[in-house]
Structure 1
Amino acid sequence: MPEYQTAMPLSVSSSESPSSKLFVLDTNILLHEPFAFMSFKEHDVLVPMTVLEELDHIKDSKKDVARDARVSIRAMEDLLHDASPEQMLEGVSMKGLGSGDSAPSGRLSIFADLGMAQQEQAFTSNENDNRIINVALHLQAKLAPREVVLVTKDINMRLKAKGAGQTLVQDYRNDQLISDIKFLTRGYYEYSGNFWDTVKTVESVTEGRDTVHTIQKDLNHEPYINEFLIDEAKSFAGIIEGMTGDSLEVLDLGYERLMSRRAWGITPKNIGQAMALHTLLDPHIDLVVLTGPAGSGKTLLALAAALEMVVESNMYDKIIVTRSTPEIAESIGFLPGTEEEKMAPWLAAITDSLEVLHKNDENTKGSMSYIMEKANIQFKSVNFMRGRSLQNAIVILDESQNLTASQLKTIITRCGEGTKLICAGNLSQIDSNYLNALTSGLTYIVEKFKNFSGSATISLDGVVRSRLAEFAEKEL
């Protein structure tokens, strides 16, 4: 093994800000958000050499995070390419890399941890996680009283670091917009009792079949565009179409009318499904986000609405179905057939839903084949969505809770003119090692897009799959 100089990085207190902290980043932070090192404002950031080694191994792999590794490496190289070895160890200023209050002003440094003396290491095994923890512990001791914080999305690594004596260990929360999942936007607000009993003043205008009520904002909740307003008495259902000052413009949908909406033979079983179906069938809404437990009807409603708009209404040309598959990069290539056939095991939920929609047909299999061809349903890997421009299509993104914010951004920016994106996911069934309900990309876009007039979110509550599924969702 080559000998590395272990010069002390940075100083006890950064020259720019005496109270700044030093954040030591784990590899998974840069895979989760390639530009994460620029997110710590006035604080300094340190990347151990072990992290660079891990990024190097990943960047040429077939893993779905290989691109994120390459992006992160290039971003750091752009900042450090003119720095001398001594400057890289001491830290290079990140001023000018961004704008606004969140722009970084601290320094980025690389720490050559591969040459640390044996007596400086809390863990003697050569595992990468242990080597990164050793760096944090070493800097905590050498730079005291300056605060040194280890940042990792690996829960077990956080436990190991604390157990070894690392005082400050935390998750990366820059992309976390809410503090508790219970604060996540639901897509509707339910009034207790009768809606009209809570309305003090109203002005109503009717044009054709549409009636728009202008009412005062309710001080009890913060409204946003395309939020539904319903009541316990089941006497009113409306959607916010505009906001001016302290008033709301609410389109009266009618509770019974909303419940009688239909798509491809499917009618809603509860008010949540009715609201979801309304947004799915609305051509003015480009992004629909459906959240809720397994069995609440997310995939079935999305597919029924898509078929209705493609086959019956001819509003779109095709249906593209994709989903997050954590292991797809390693295993899809070993499955036989075309891309659609390779994707079939992961998209069985779609074919199951298609079978439900045609279960009463004389020849269910024949109907499914005919509809898949008629609606031009294409199964695509999420890995191959980059670089594409999807025009005049409905894109159904299933299991989107397993995607990061940057991965979802990549897919959303693929949507061209006349394309509608439907994101469905269950935040209680996240398979990613580094995501939870708060940091999921699904949560991120729900909060980011809630004030965008071209999007709508609906959180489905009831489990309608079966009484067995409903009991399991509640009790297990």
Structure 2
Amino acid sequence: MGKIYVLDTNVLLQDPYSIFSFEDNEVVIPAVVLEEVDSKKRNMDEVGRNARHVSKLIDGLRQIGKLHEKIPLKTGGFLRIELNHRSFHQLQEIFVEKTNDNRILAVAKNLSLEEETKEDGRQVILVSKDVLVRVKADAIGLMAEDFLSDRVVEDDSIYKGFLEVYIQKDSLGLFYEKGELPLSQMAHHPFYPNQFVIMKDAFGSKGSAVGIVDQAGNKVRKLLYEYDHIWGIKPRNVQQIMALELLLRDDIPLVTLIGKAGTGKTLLALAAGLMQTEDLGYFKKLLVARPIVPVGKDLGFLPGEKQEKLRPWVQPIYDNLEYLFNTKKPGELDAILAGMGSIEVEALTYIRGRSIPDQFIIIDEAQNLTKHEAKTILTRVGERSKIVLMGDPAQIDHPYLDEYNNGLTYVVEKFKEQKISGHVNLIKGERSALAQLAADLL
């Protein structure tokens, strides 16, 4: 016996194809949801794009049959726009205001009550990304679920980019002697190209080594780069050493870095980019960009020219550049950057339509990107360019994203088996003892 899934507006705005995610069950979209989608379709952002897209999808289904009746879906289920069951009688004593959320709850509750009167009544489940809507549903005895089909991973098993293995002391010695070790000499693991391996002595001695899986997936090799410092920055832990290896390799054009605040993601990427752009001349320009998503209340319109408007949003980038250039006086960094001409700090708002060749590209705060935005950015990368996406999925400011469905996690999981990409999860904070404690406790 199938089920009836009633969709909240935020599910459609998060994933327009969500209507096809419920297998052979019936999908119900309340009329008030269409009104909310219609109110968003003029937005010039990802929400507006999804609103327009879902409108086109539903309009296409209209060619098959009448929307207020059951329209068959390719998944074997059905779709229906619910025009009835809008009565607020059952909820008027609980929720006084007839908000859109409460109207959606009323539709789902009335459908559930109708199904309970039938001999073969089906279970009615409200699907919403809104936590409080699910809480309200539970309070009135209605089944409610989060929409999980858009998640890249089901739990906290996001790919870390490295793993620890225990091997025989002889094998460890062989690695030191030859600089490589066949994967066949290790316990079975699903190794990925460019994945780091921390090898430890199985008998408990302090002997250990760090290697990287070759792109053929057959051996673990020594790291290519063992710099004491680059642009005055010294790696302080093993994950930072791994990150620098990926950032400096010319055969890995896509690098993803995940880590809490203070783990050194931005500083390491900027140092590696400056070294390869200014010192080695591998790239013509260093491009640094970040999405415009406010933390807390939006600042609103800002005065000045484009660069003046962008400065508050990209100030964290300038803070790191001031550290790398060791500037002391106000305006000194701006003078340096103007003189160099090879460093560009930009907002992601302006990246669509561009083709970016011969550049070292850093995308900061990539956890605030949607899957579509991440795809848009990666498809801008031109020949001989290298791109670094970094962020902390635990610090998301986007209203429709979470740790498991954001663009950064999406790229990490989709590219982990590809030879051209590498990933590291930075664990230890190096900003200060206070910053590390705050990241762990808060």
TM > 0.5 fold call: yes
Which residue of 2 is the match for residue 437 of structure 1?
403
Which residue of 1 is the match for residue 13 of structure 2?
31
What SS does the aligned partner of 2:214 have? strand
What SS does the aligned partner of 1:380 have? strand
Q: Judging changes above 3 Å, is the alpha-carbon distance between structure 1 residues 423 and 197 closer, same or farther for their aligned structure 2 residues?
A: same
Query: After TM superposition, what 4+ stretches of structure 1 lie above 4 angstroms from structure 2?
Result: 120-124, 200-206, 330-333, 361-365
Which residue of 1 is the match for residue 194 of structure 2?
226
* Residue deviations 1:199-258 (CA, integer Å, cap 9, x gap): 49979997xxxx5432316335321111011235464221101456xxx3222227xx63
Distance 1:26 1:252 in 2: 52
Superposed, 1:213-252 pairs within 5 Å as 213-216=181-184, 218-219=186-187, 221-232=189-200, 233=206, 235-243=208-216, 248-252=218-222
Which residue of 2 is the match for residue 138 of structure 1?
110
Post-superposition shift, 1:171? 1.1
Q: Judging changes above 3 Å, is the alpha-carbon distance between structure 1 residues 218 and 180 closer, same or farther for their aligned structure 2 residues?
A: farther
Distance 1:71 1:389 in 2: 25
* Residue deviations 1:271-314 (CA, integer Å, cap 9, x gap): 11111011011122122111111111011111111111222222
Q: Is 2:70 the counterpart of 1:91?
A: yes
Which residue of 1 is the match for residue 76 of structure 2?
105
Post-superposition shift, 1:71? 1.7
TM-score (norm 2): 0.88
Q: Which shows bigger deviation, 197-206 or 52-61?
A: 197-206
Q: Is 2:173 the counterpart of 1:191?
A: no
Q: Is 2:385 the counterpart of 1:419?
A: yes
Post-superposition shift, 1:417? 2.3
Maintained 8 Å contact 2:154/2:404: yes
1:268 partner amino acid: P
Q: Judging changes above 3 Å, is the alpha-carbon distance between structure 1 residues 237 and 411 closer, same or farther for their aligned structure 2 residues?
A: same
Unaligned runs of 5+ residues in structure 1 are: 1-18, 96-103
Which residue of 2 is the match for residue 321 of structure 1?
288
Which residue of 2 is the match for residue 117 of structure 1?
87
Which residue of 2 is the match for residue 98 of structure 1?
none
Question: Of residues 69, 73, 78 in structure 1, which corresponds to 2:60?
Answer: 78
Superposed, 1:365-376 pairs within 5 Å as 365-367=331-333, 369-371=335-337, 374=340, 376=342
What SS does the aligned partner of 1:88 have? coil
Q: Judging changes above 3 Å, is the alpha-carbon distance between structure 1 residues 471 and 234 closer, same or farther for their aligned structure 2 residues?
A: farther
Distance 1:73 1:386 in 2: 23
* Residue deviations 1:51-110 (CA, integer Å, cap 9, x gap): 111111111135552122112212222222x255xx211222222xxxxxxxx2322221
Q: Judging changes above 3 Å, is the alpha-carbon distance between structure 1 residues 467 and 119 closer, same or farther for their aligned structure 2 residues?
A: closer
Which residue of 2 is the match for residue 164 of structure 1?
140
Distance 1:322 1:279 in 2: 19
Distance 1:36 1:286 in 2: 33
Post-superposition shift, 1:415? 2.1
Superposed, 1:274-293 pairs within 5 Å as 274-293=241-260
Question: Of residues 40, 43, 51 in structure 1, which corresponds to 2:33?
Answer: 51
What SS does the aligned partner of 1:191 have? strand
Maintained 8 Å contact 2:258/2:393: yes
What SS does the aligned partner of 1:119 have? coil
Which residue of 2 is the match for residue 467 of structure 1?
433
Post-superposition shift, 1:124? 5.1
Distance 1:29 1:418 in 2: 39
Q: Judging changes above 3 Å, is the alpha-carbon distance between structure 1 residues 200 and 307 closer, same or farther for their aligned structure 2 residues?
A: closer
Question: Of residues 321, 329, 353 in structure 2, which corresponds to 1:354?
Answer: 321
Distance 1:316 1:125 in 2: 59
2:140 partner amino acid: A
Superposed, 1:234-313 pairs within 5 Å as 235-243=208-216, 248-253=218-223, 258=226, 260-313=227-280
Q: Judging changes above 3 Å, is the alpha-carbon distance between structure 1 residues 229 and 77 closer, same or farther for their aligned structure 2 residues?
A: same
2:422 partner amino acid: A
Distance 2:349 2:110 in 1: 39
Q: Judging changes above 3 Å, is the alpha-carbon distance between structure 1 residues 163 and 464 closer, same or farther for their aligned structure 2 residues?
A: same
Question: Of residues 357, 366, 374 in structure 2, which corresponds to 1:391?
Answer: 357
Q: Is 2:25 the counterpart of 1:21?
A: no
TM-score (norm 1): 0.82
Post-superposition shift, 1:345? 1.0
Distance 1:147 1:412 in 2: 42
What SS does the aligned partner of 1:334 have? coil
Maintained 8 Å contact 1:202/1:216: no
Question: Of residues 88, 93, 98 in structure 2, which corresponds to 1:126?
Answer: 98
Aligned identity (percent) is 35
Which residue of 1 is the match for residue 203 of structure 2?
none
What SS does the aligned partner of 1:434 have? coil
Distance 2:399 2:300 in 1: 23
The number of residue pairs the alignment matches comes to 430
What SS does the aligned partner of 1:89 have? coil
* Residue deviations 1:418-449 (CA, integer Å, cap 9, x gap): 23221111122222333332233322222221
What SS does the aligned partner of 1:108 have? strand
What SS does the aligned partner of 2:197 have? strand
Question: Of residues 452, 459, 471 in structure 1, which corresponds to 2:418?
Answer: 452
Distance 1:303 1:201 in 2: 35
1:160 partner amino acid: K
Maintained 8 Å contact 1:318/1:376: yes
Q: Judging changes above 3 Å, is the alpha-carbon distance between structure 1 residues 467 and 116 closer, same or farther for their aligned structure 2 residues?
A: closer
Q: Judging changes above 3 Å, is the alpha-carbon distance between structure 1 residues 462 and 320 closer, same or farther for their aligned structure 2 residues?
A: same
